[in-house]
Amino acid sequence: MLILMKSEATKEDILRVCQKIETMGFRAHEIPGAQRTAIGITGNQGKIDPETFATMSGVEQAIPVTKPYKLAGRDARKENSEVSVGGEIIGGRELAIIAGPCSVESWDQLITTARAVKDAGAKFLRGGAFKPRTSPYTFQGMKEEGLVLLREARAETGLKIVTEVKDVLTLSAVSQVADVIQVGARNMSNFSLLEAVGELRTPVLLKRGISATIEELLMAAEYILAKGNLSVILCERGIRTFEPATRNTLDLSAIPVVKKLSHLPIMVDPSHGVGMWEGVTAMSLAAVAAGADGIMVEVHPNPSEALSDGYQSLKPERFKDLLEKVRRVAEVVDRSVGAEVA
Amino acid sequence: MLILMKSEATKEDILRVCQKIETMGFRAHEIPGAQRTAIGITGNQGKIDPETFATMSGVEQAIPVTKPYKLAGRDARKENSEVSVGGEIIGGRELAIIAGPCSVESWDQLITTARAVKDAGAKFLRGGAFKPRTSPYTFQGMKEEGLVLLREARAETGLKIVTEVKDVLTLSAVSQVADVIQVGARNMSNFSLLEAVGELRTPVLLKRGISATIEELLMAAEYILAKGNLSVILCERGIRTFEPATRNTLDLSAIPVVKKLSHLPIMVDPSHGVGMWEGVTAMSLAAVAAGADGIMVEVHPNPSEALSDGYQSLKPERFKDLLEKVRRVAEVVDRSVGAEVA
Amino acid sequence: MLILMKSEATKEDILRVCQKIETMGFRAHEIPGAQRTAIGITGNQGKIDPETFATMSGVEQAIPVTKPYKLAGRDARKENSEVSVGGEIIGGRELAIIAGPCSVESWDQLITTARAVKDAGAKFLRGGAFKPRTSPYTFQGMKEEGLVLLREARAETGLKIVTEVKDVLTLSAVSQVADVIQVGARNMSNFSLLEAVGELRTPVLLKRGISATIEELLMAAEYILAKGNLSVILCERGIRTFEPATRNTLDLSAIPVVKKLSHLPIMVDPSHGVGMWEGVTAMSLAAVAAGADGIMVEVHPNPSEALSDGYQSLKPERFKDLLEKVRRVAEVVDRSVGAEVA
Amino acid sequence: MLILMKSEATKEDILRVCQKIETMGFRAHEIPGAQRTAIGITGNQGKIDPETFATMSGVEQAIPVTKPYKLAGRDARKENSEVSVGGEIIGGRELAIIAGPCSVESWDQLITTARAVKDAGAKFLRGGAFKPRTSPYTFQGMKEEGLVLLREARAETGLKIVTEVKDVLTLSAVSQVADVIQVGARNMSNFSLLEAVGELRTPVLLKRGISATIEELLMAAEYILAKGNLSVILCERGIRTFEPATRNTLDLSAIPVVKKLSHLPIMVDPSHGVGMWEGVTAMSLAAVAAGADGIMVEVHPNPSEALSDGYQSLKPERFKDLLEKVRRVAEVVDRSVGAEVA
C-alpha cells in the first residue's frame, strides 16, 4: 500500500498516518517529494483496505500494490494447474473440448448430439438441466428429469458431463450427476454458492460474470479455492459493452492476462460470447490460437427447433469441421486435440 | 414481432415463415417492400422468442416489438404503485429516506447512527448483517448477531429496518427482522432468490445489477411480482462503465425511464453509486430533483473507523444538512420529506 | 511515480531502476517490503511516462501518482474560474442558461426560438450551423448561411451566440460570429482543433467525448489552456454505456468530481445525454441540484418538424416551465437564474 | 421503417401517421394487432430518420429496418474488396503484415526496424511522424522530418509506408509519402478529415474509434467511399470497456461481423488493443485465426528506450517468431503470408 498525501498536508497529518500504520503492526516509510509526500507500508502479509486511510486528514489517495487474491495467483504456484476430471486432464497439453446443447430437451435430442460430438472428438458433453433465464415466462429447463437424461447419456457414450448449478438448493442433485459443475456468469458473484461448491471436490467451471473484471473472476475462484476445492477452471464467455452487433464482446485478451496472473486453466465459450453461429467457428479458432485451454461450444441437431439459444448453436457437421481446424491451430501453439473416433 | 427478410429471400422462404406463424396460432401480415419483404405477427398475447425465426432460411432479423415484462409495466397499471411498509408509504408524495451504516458493527455504532438519522428525519434504518464481499478474506458482517441488534434498534427508535438478504439459506432469518428486504446488486439475477422473496409478502428493495439494463431490472422485478409479492421497490445504485474516477456511474436518467415504463417506485443509492462522500450530497439532491421516490444514504458516526465503505459514508451532521436541502428540492418537484423530529 | 518490483526481482534489477531514476535527474527511494520492493521517485516536476520503467527487468508495474494536467487542475488555482462572455459570467453564482435549436434551419425557426428562450430567461442562444453527422447522407447544417442568421438573431435579441466548430478550416468563419465556440464530443480528442481554438481568446465550450474519462476531458482542456486561451467551460453530455434505453448515460457525478479536481466551470447538456424530451426536464433539474454551472437545452418551436434531434427538443412553453423549476432548485444550492423578462 | 403505435393510440393518430408517410411519397401498411397497431413503410430508397415519427401523437417507437450505409455494405458488393497498394494486395488470400515502431524516432531506429521486419516477412512499414497524444506535454512526433526518414526507408527497403494523418492541414505532406494513409481511432469521427482523404486515391487504413460501434465504423468508411476513394481498409484496435487489465478490449468478434455486413478488408492492431507485449503474440495469432486480412504490429529494436508505446512493442526476434506461427495459422484458414526473405 502506498499512501499519497495532499500537497497541503501538514506534518501532523503525515505523522498521524505513520502512527496509524505502526499501530496496525506494519512499518511506515516516508518518501518526501517536491510537491507532496508519499508513505509506503511494508510488513503486511495480505491486503490492507484502502478505505482505512482514505478518510484521514491530508490523505489524497491510498493505492494498493498487492494483489487481493492469494491461492489463485501465480505467486502461490508458478506452474500451471491441471484439473483431472475422472482421468481427463483440463489445463494440460491436450485441449478440453466441451460440446452439446444449451438445454437438455429430450432423450433423442441429447443422445443424438452426444454421439455426434463424441464422433467429432469431444470428450465432454454439456447440457443444461436447470436454466437461469432472464424471463420467468420462458423455458427453465427439464430440471431433475434433465439430470437423469445426462446420466444416461454418460452411461451410453462415456462422455464426461458438464452441467450448470443454478442455486444452493439444487446443488446436491446436480453434483450427483455432474463430472464438472458449471457456475454460470450470473452466479459468479453468488458467494454463498461459491462457498458451497468449494466444500465439494467436484471440478468447477467458473464463468466470468457479464461485467466482471479479470481480478473479480480470480477473486470468485479464490472463494472456491479457500474452501479447499482446488479444481477450478475459469471460463471467458463475453463481457457487456456498448457494441450491439454481438450478444457480448468476447474478451480473448483475458487469456494471456489470466495466464500471466494465475495458474488456473482458462477455457472459452464462443457461443455465448458471440451469440450467432457464423461467428462461433471464427472465435473458437481464435480462442485456441490465443492460448485457451479448451473451448465449450453449443451444438444442436436442429438449431431452429431449439428451446433456447438456437441461433448460436452449430449443427453437428459444422462442429466436426470446426474441430478439424481446431486440431491444426492447436499444433501451432503446441497443443493437441484427442484423436477423432473412427 | 416483425420478421425482416433478406433482399435475396425467395417466395418459398416467405411462405415458410408465414406458415410457421400460422402454425403457432398467430396471424402473419406480409409487407412487400422495394428492397425486401417484412412480415408482421399479430394475435400473440406475450413475447415470442426471436430465435424461433432467426435461423430460418431467408430471414435477416426478427425484431421484438412487445415488452417482455407484464406485471411490472405501465400497461399493467397506469397509476404509480405505492408500497406500504408498516404504514410508511414508499412511492407516494412523501420521499422515503433510508439511512444508516453499511454494516452493523456494534450496538453503540448502530444505535448512535439510528438516533442521529431519526433526528435528521429518516424513517428507515439501513444496516447490513450479512454482507456479500468480493474477497473471502474481508469482514462478512455480524450475521445473526447483527439481526438481533437491528431488531433492538427498531424497538428503541421505531425506525423501519432495511437489511440485505445474501442467500436463500438465510432468508428466513432476515425476513423475521426486516421491514424491507434488500436484494443487492450482485443478486439481481439470482432468480432462485427472487422467487423465494416473491413467495413472501415483505416489501423488497431490488437493486439494479452492476451491468443490468433497465429492462433486465424490470424483468427481475417481474420474477418477484409473478410469485405474488407486489411490494417491489426498485433502486438505482450505479452501473459499471469505463470511468475510473467514481466507483460506479450513477445512472439518474434511469429514473425518468423507469417512470415511463413502469408503475413501481424507484429509489437511488448515491453512496454506492459515487463511492466518495463528497459526491453523496450532490447526487442525493440530483436524485430527488430527477424524480426519485427516495434516497438511501450511508451514514456512520466515525467513517474512518468503519469496517466497510467508510469512504463513502456521511457523518451524522452532514446527513442532517443534506436532508434540509433535500426537503427544499423536494418541494420544487411536488414531493415532501417527513417532519424533522424536534 | 512508484515503481513496484516483482517478488522475484534481483538486487541488480533494483539497482538498475534506481540508477535510471538518478540518470533522469530525480531521486530514488527504495522501500523494501516483506514480499517485494517498491521504489519511490521524487524530484520530478511533471509526469514521468510509466512506460519508461515498465519494460525493465524485474519491474511489475509503474504507478503514476501525479495528475497529468497542470493548468486545468486545482493545484494550479484553488478558487473557481469564471469565464466572461461579453459581460455574462459563466462559473459564477448565476447559472448559465443556453437554449435553442439543435440546428439553425431558417430565420423563422431561429428567431421564434430565440425570442422564446429569451423570454423564459436564457441569456445564450445555441444553434448549429456546421453539423458533424454520423451519416454523409443526412443534413449537414446551413453552414455559412446559418452563421449569418445567428449573427442577426444576436443583433435582434442581444442573446450571446453558442455555436459549434466542426473543423480547423471553418474555425475562422465560426469565430467571427460565436461568442462561445463549442467543441463537440466527437472533436474532444481532435488535438489540432484544440490547439487552434487555444490560439484564440474566444471562450470555448468543450464537450466531453462519448467515451472520454474525466481525466481525458481535463487533458483536452489542458491543450486549450496551454496555448493561452484560459476561457474554457467543460460540458458533460452523456457517455456511452451498455444501456440502450437512453441515447447516452448522463454522468452527473462528473460534476462533483470535476469540482474537486479542477477550477474550470462545468455545464450539462441533458438533451444529448438523455435523447428523449421526457427526460430532459428531470435531468436539467438534477444537473443544477448536483452543482452544475449551467445547462444547455435544445428547444424547438415544432419538434416533430426539426431536421435533427427533434425527439429530444423541448417546446418553448415546456422550456419556460423548466426554467421556473430550475430557478427554485438553484436557490437550494446557493445559485440563481437571471430575472425572467417580463 | 416500422412505426409501432401505443396501445392507447386513436384511429386519428394512426391515420395521421399514414398520411405523413404518403406525403413523403412512400406507402403505409397498417398491421392491426391484438394490443396495438404497427405501420410498415415501403417505397423508400434510403434511410428515413426515426425522429420524423417519434414525436407524433400515439407513436410508441419508430424502428429502422434498413442499414444506414450503402457503399460499404454487402448489398452493394457481394464479393470481398481487394485494395491494391502499389501492387501489394490487402484483402486477398495473402495476409497483409504491417510492422514497425509506434513513432519514427531517428534514422537508426527506423532503418534497423525496417530491415528486421522485412527480413521476418513484413511488406509494410508503419511509423508515426505526426502523433496525436493525450497530453500536450509529451512527444508529438518528428513531423516533417519523420516523413523524410520514412521516404528514405522505403527507398532502401522497398517496404510500403503506412503512416498516420493527424489533421487536414498536414494531409498533403503525409499523402506525398504514405502508400497507405492511416486515420487513427481518435479521428474516426472527424468527418472533415474523412472527406479530405476521400478526395484522394491513396489507400486509407481506417481505425475503429475507441467507443465506436461496428455500424459507426462502416459509416465512417462510407464518408470516404462516398467521395470516390474506394480503397478503404478497416482496422480493429480495441474498444473501451470497464476492464482495467488491458489498455483496451480487442474485439475480435468484429471480424466475423464485418465480414458478414461489409465487403471491405479488415485488419487488426493487437499492440494498441492489448497494450502489453506479452499479449501481442497471442492476439496476433487469434486475429488471423478469426479471419482478419492482416495484422499491424509495433516492433522496436529497444522497447525500453522507445519514446512512445514501448511497453507494447515486440523486439525484432520475437516478431520473427510470431510471423512463423502466423504463417501456420494462416494455412488453417486458407490464407498465406508472403515468403520470408532468406
Distance, in Å, from the CA atom of D34 to the CA atom of C109, rounded to the nearest integer, reads 41
With contact defined as beta carbons under 8 Å apart, do A39 and A94 qualify? no
Judge whether residue C125 has pLDDT over 60.
Answer: yes
Distance, in Å, from the CA atom of C167 to the CA atom of D246, rounded to the nearest integer, reads 32
The per-residue pLDDT for range B204-256, each reduced to its tens digit, is: 999 999 999 999 999 999 999 999 999 999 999 999 999 999 989 999 999 99
Q: What is the DSSP letter of D231?
A: -
Amino acid at A320: K
Q: Which of D102, D177, D212, D258 is nearest to D194 (CA)?
A: D212
CB contacts of C258 in chain B (<8 Å) are none
Q: What is the mean pLDDT of residues C192-199?
A: 97
Judge whether residue B342 has pLDDT over 90.
Answer: no
| CB burial readout C73-104, b (16+ within 10 A) else e | bbbeeeeebebebeebebbbebbbbbbbbbbb
Range from A230-244, A272-286, B306-320, C326-340 that averages highest in pLDDT: A230-244
- B2-63 belongs to which CATH class? alpha beta
Distance, in Å, from the CA atom of A323 to the CA atom of A313, rounded to the nearest integer, reads 15
Distance, in Å, from the CA atom of C167 to the CA atom of D191, rounded to the nearest integer, reads 9
Strand, coil or helix: B73: strand
Q: What is the mean pLDDT of residues B95-114?
A: 96
Give phi and psi for A111, each to the nearest 5. Answer: -70, -35
CB contacts of A253 in chain D (<8 Å) are 246, 249-250, 273-274, 279, 282-283
Strand, coil or helix: A151: helix
In D107-146, the residues whose Cβ lies within 8 Å of chain C are 132-138
Per the prediction, chain D carries an average pLDDT of 91
CA distances from D2 to A126, B39, B54, B56 (A): 40, 11, 18, 21
The per-residue pLDDT for range D265-324, each reduced to its tens digit, is: 999 999 987 877 779 999 999 999 999 999 999 999 887 777 766 667 899 999 999 999
Residue C324, pLDDT score? 96
**Taking the domains of chain B in order of start, what are their residue ranges?**
2-63, 83-332
Residue contact A241–D251, C-beta within 8 A: yes
Q: Which of A33, A44, B332 is nearest to C286 (CA)?
A: B332
- Domain C83-332 classified CATH 3.20.20.70? yes
Distance, in Å, from the CA atom of C190 to the CA atom of D90, rounded to the nearest integer, reads 29
Residue A34, pLDDT score? 62
Residue A325, pLDDT score? 97
- CA-based nearest distance C172→chain A, Å: 36
Q: pLDDT class for D339, splitting at 50, 70, 90?
A: low
CB contacts of A250 in chain D (<8 Å) are 252-253
CB contacts of C246 in chain B (<8 Å) are 253, 257
Per the prediction, chain B carries an average pLDDT of 91
Residue contact D31–B31, C-beta within 8 A: yes
Q: What is the mean pLDDT of residues C197-207?
A: 98
Residue A193, pLDDT score? 97
Q: Using a CB–CB cutoff of 8 Å, tell me whether D282 touches chain A.
A: yes
The per-residue pLDDT for range D151-166, each reduced to its tens digit, is: 999 999 999 999 999 9
The per-residue pLDDT for range C230-268, each reduced to its tens digit, is: 999 999 999 999 999 998 999 999 999 999 999 999 999
Residue D110, pLDDT score? 97
Q: What is the mean pLDDT of residues B115-135?
A: 94
Q: 10 Å Cβ neighbour count for A184?
A: 24
Judge whether residue A287 has pLDDT over 90.
Answer: yes
pTM of the model: 0.91
Chains that touch A (3 or more CB pairs under 8 A): B, C, D
Residue C207, pLDDT score? 98
Query: In chain A, whose CA is at the least distance from the CA of D274?
Result: A253
Residue contact D43–B63, C-beta within 8 A: no
The interface predicted TM-score of the complex, written ipTM, equals 0.89
The per-residue pLDDT for range A292-314, each reduced to its tens digit, is: 999 999 999 887 777 766 667 89
Q: Using a CB–CB cutoff of 8 Å, tell me whether C155 touches chain A.
A: no
Residue D27, pLDDT score? 82
Q: Mutate which of C45, C188, C189 to disrupt the D interface (most D C-beta within 10 Å)?
A: C189
